[in-house]
Structure 1
Amino acid sequence: MLRWAREWRGLSADAAGRAVDKTAADILAWETPNSGAAPTVKQARRLADVYGRAFIEFFRTAPPSEKPADITPDYRQHREVQSSEQAWQLRTLQEWATSQRLNTLDLFSTLGEEVPHLPEALRASVSDNVENVALVARNALDFPASQQITIPRSARDKFPNVLRAKFESAGILTLKHSDLKKIGARGLCLAHDILPAIVYTSESPGAQAFTLAHELGHVLLRASGVSDKEPYARLVSARRPTVERWCDRFSAAFLMPKDALGIIRPRPVTPLAQISNEEIISLADLFKVSKHAMLIRLVNLRYVEPSFYWERKRPEYIREEEDFESFARSKYYGSRYRSSLGDLYTGLVIEAWNTGKITNHNASEFMGIKNMEHLFRIREEFNA
């Protein structure tokens, strides 16, 4: 059982030993039948914490018959050098997202409500033109470009929340998890015809918006996947997998519609050698995207010569993104649970709780909250 738990966690004997202040030889001796060596109760409890298993499982006579979840297609560029720890983190993240999706389906059933079905228009293939698909998707989500452009610039940091609300109203469970960064990923999609789930992480608002729209592309294709950590350069790279390149181009077309951009800034007869930083910022602010995404969109639509991006601006934008520090955590600890799980999920928990369909204890388990004070405050703020 000790060996099974360690291998399930994806740790070497050396890594497990370091985690509990023992040597690899000690770990292997504990795992060897009839070696005469065994951990103390305190050491075994520490191992259980490190392995992410229940301490009581160590007393089983055989490992549980768990079938590991099938990992979604992994589109990360450097996945071949990932550590066993990163592989375990990816599996854990996917299992977390899967659990939240199953919980959501369970909550709909408990409430006697029908699970929202994706609009039929939200379906595409990689052979479809992304500009046309993006326009159809906007219509299906009731999100005209004018609505995006008229969001006050002072509220541009909230734009990812606007997208999230649009997605959830269409029946897409939209989750947020900071651990995606640890595995060098930006997004995760579990594509299903009913209640697909996407996960994004904490980045600059512009990068979050691009990731959300990219994962929407995966939903349209019904193509599950783990997306790479570098967003915008993929728009101009022919080396990316077909699905990723399509989703990148869809994201750009969705967030910066060609027709809307053409009205605001008519395309020149021939691509310009350069464009002012002020104009890039102005357009990026208008569409609530990053300067990086805006300039690549202008390059791809032949407003600007590619050399201006590659030679002049790309190094600058990469440095800015590397230096970006995510927003500070919410002052109120409990609100982070709602931020992670989203309003669709949280609202179902609150509704089931308010109507007596689930108990206080059930509600805390669904939300992953141990402190009931946080739970009551979330309900109070959600109902406000």
Structure 2
Amino acid sequence: MMQTIIKGEMVQWSRRRAGLSREEIAHKLQVDLDRFIAWEEGQSAIPFSIAKKLSKISLIPMGLLFAETAPEESLPIADFRTPGSQILERSSPELIETIHDAKRKQEWYREYLISQDFEPLPFIGMYRLDDDPKRAAITIMDLLSLDSPEYIQCRDWQDSLRFLINHAEDIGITVIVTSVFRNNTHRPLISDEFRGFVLSDSIAPLVMINSSDAKPAQMFTLIHEIAHLLIDASGVLDSPLLSPLTLPQEQWCNQVAAEVLAPEDQVITLWNRDADNDTNLDNLRKKLKISRLVAIIRVYHLGLITASEKDRYYSDEMGRIMAAKKKDQEKPGGPDPHLMRRYKTGRNLALAVLSEVASGQMLYWDAFSFLDVKNATGLKEIAERLEYSSKN
């Protein structure tokens, strides 16, 4: 068996980067614990085949394992998540590499758009934190055509979310919705670590939503991230619905998102003080096409319910959502993975890749990498789902 000289420090770093104990990594590598400890302490050389597995588990390029010392590693964009949470002490390799992967795709798409003579988007950075959030909310509502008959006719928040994603893409924002790293179901993105991130850019802005988060909360996250683009602020986001309003960027973006989805004047008008809270919350949900979660947080911030009522309603609703999610998971089949890819890759980005492949400007291998598919069949399925034709 071929042995390779990798310093014990690098073996230890790769384990810690993966967030695993010695016992856990030994189990994943299918080796004896004492043997792994010997590798980590530099007492013996690690087999090349095991080093490859270690590289895959920790999402570290194989060549980097041969470095003398572990590099300083941090998130490549600002961190707007709640300080003090234990889960934030070390970012997972899935989060770090998902951001790097999104930046790689964004850079390619930016160059593509420039080659197609696309102009900078006027709404990127058009506001500052001392501007009125209500003005910014009106801007987003106009950009996303929230006064259109199509949006007004949405049956519920799920239809509304699809509408918002499609219209965000229409105005030039790449929206990626996924719960796994690069279509690898064995590498989930944990919603407790982050709810999404945004990469601001005047040509090719990108928003990523972690779909492992409660689906009713994703609509608020999307608008919150678009608000980040209005102030040209890239960053990783915590739960916008419940995060403490301590960071000025998050406070401002929260206020914008709340006003977009549940305008204060409409909420006050619809709130019937003679009716019970449950009836009022359901009325807001139906009339405004928002989730009950958003309704609960919005009326709390407007002083229509107390903190204890908010906590109780929110807990009850999350319990209902989790029960429904578990029930869906127990059903045979599940969502069409190819249909979901429409949101996993970003509609416009995927169409640009397909166009470049069809014109011979991009190799199939590169297209597979960009769209996270294994072969031409996967590429064809994406084209069919997006109703793409090379004659377009």
Normalization by structure 2: what TM-score? 0.79
Whole-Å separation in 2 of the counterparts to 1:75 and 1:324: 30
Superposed, 1:1-384 pairs within 5 Å as 1-2=6-7, 3-4=9-10, 6-7=12-13, 10-11=17-18, 14=22, 15-22=24-31, 26-27=35-36, 29-30=38-39, 35=43, 37-55=44-62, 62=67, 70-77=75-82, 80-82=85-87, 86-108=91-113, 112-120=115-123, 123-139=126-142, 141-147=143-149, 150-153=152-155, 156-178=157-179, 179-202=188-211, 203-229=213-239, 231-234=240-243, 237-238=244-245, 240-261=246-267, 265=269, 272=273, 275-302=276-303, 304-306=304-306, 309-310=309-310, 313-325=313-325, 331-383=335-387
What letter matches 2:95 in structure 1? L
- Unpaired segments of 5 or more residues in structure 2? 1-5, 180-187
Distance 1:70 1:88 in 2: 10
Aligned CA-pair RMSD:
3.4
How far apart, in 1, do the equivalents of 2:119 and 2:60 lie?
35
The answer as to whether partners of 1:334 and 1:375 remain within 8 angstroms in 2 is no
Cα contact 2:342–2:386 (8 A) shared by 1: no
Shift of 1:23: 5.8
Instruction: Report if aligned partners of 1:174, 1:199 keep a CA contact under 8 Å in 2.
Output: yes
Deviation at 1:76, TM superposition (A): 2.8
SS of the residue 2:176 aligns to: strand
After superposition, the C-alpha distances for 1:253-302 in whole angstroms (9 at most, x for unaligned) are: 0112234556xx3667xxx3864423322321232211131233234345
CA contact (8 A) 1:284 1:291 kept: yes
1:328-359 deviation per Cα after TM superposition (whole angstroms, max 9, x unaligned): 68654334433211101111112212223223
With over 3 angstroms needed to count, the CA separation of the structure-2 counterparts of 1:67 and 1:103, relative to structure 1, is farther
- Cα deviation, 1:158-192, whole Å, max 9, x if unaligned, reads 32222122222222221123144255221212233
Q: 1:94 to 1:224 in 2, by over 3 A?
A: same
Aligned length: 366
Letter in 1 for 2:195: R
* Identical counterparts, % of pairs: 19
Which structure shows the higher helix fraction?
1
Contact kept, 8 Å, 1:116 with 1:194, in 2: the verdict is yes
Q: Distance in 1 between matches of 2:196 and 2:120?
A: 22
Shift in CA distance, 373/330, structure 1 to aligned 2, threshold 3 Å: farther
SS of the equivalent of 1:232 reads coil
SS of aligned partner of 1:174: strand
Shift of 1:212: 0.2
Structure-2 separation of matches of 1:52 and 1:101: 20
CA distance in 1, matches of 2:261, 2:33: 51
3-state SS in 1 of match to 2:104: helix
Deviation at 1:369, TM superposition (A): 0.9
CA contact (8 A) 1:330 1:336 kept: no
Unaligned 5+ runs, structure 1: none
* CA offset digits 1:11-35 (Å, max 9, x no partner): 57725434324466534533566x4
Give, in whole Å, the separation in 2 of the partners of 1:352 and 1:285.
43
CA distance in 2, matches of 1:311, 1:21: 45
After alignment, is 215-224 or 291-300 more displaced?
Answer: 291-300
- CA 1:4–1:307 in structure 2 vs 1: closer, same or farther (change >3 Å)? closer
Q: Counterpart of 2:383 in structure 1: which amino acid?
A: R
Query: 2 CA distance for matches of 1:282 and 1:317?
Result: 15
Paired AA for residue 52 in structure 1: L
1:311, distance to aligned residue in structure 2 (A) = 6.6
CA separation in 2, counterparts of 1:120 and 1:133? 10
State the alpha-carbon separation in 2 of the partners of residues 227 and 57 from structure 1. 29
Cα distance between partner residues in 2 of 1:383 and 1:146: 24
Residue identity opposite 2:284 in structure 1: L
